[in-house]
């Protein structure tokens, strides 16, 4: 993934499909398009430093518990999708 990151840093667009990456790999990504079963968009945007935008987005949904310290954000977001109906556009602020 370091090689992919170097190519992205050169100004090229990289598209990856990945399932539940490690924290180290996940934080290498700039943007995320997260789809739920059926193709519904759950999150589409910049991840932010240390995935801060993603975490803030999910934690703003009613009923979503805060991410535990040192927990993998990619694992946590998938758990949020299973536990809550976060695809409701009214549940999350845009």
1-58, pLDDT tens digit by residue? 888 889 989 999 988 888 889 999 998 899 999 988 888 889 999 999 999 999 999 9
Q: Which two tokens stand for residue 56?
A: 């803030």
DSSP class of residue 6 equals H
Q: Read off the pTM.
A: 0.77
List phi, psi (to 5°) of 46: -70, 135
Say yes or no to pLDDT of 93 above 50: no
pLDDT greater at residue 81 or residue 47: 47
The burial class, CB within 10 Å (0-12 / 13-18 / 19+), for 78 is middle
- Which among 28, 6, 7, 3 is positioned nearest to 18, based on CA atoms? 28
């Amino acid at each position: 993934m370091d090689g992919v990151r170097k190519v992205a840093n050169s100004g090229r667009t990289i598209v990856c499909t990945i399932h539940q990456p490690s924290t180290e790999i996940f934080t290498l990504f700039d943007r995320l398009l997260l789809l739920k079963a059926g193709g519904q968009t759950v999150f589409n945007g910049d991840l932010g430093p240390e995935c801060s935008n993603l975490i803030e987005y999910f934690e703003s949904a009613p009923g979503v518990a805060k991410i535990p310290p040192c927990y993998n954000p990619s694992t946590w977001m998938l758990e949020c999708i299973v536990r809550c109906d976060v695809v409701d556009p009214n549940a999350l602020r845009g």
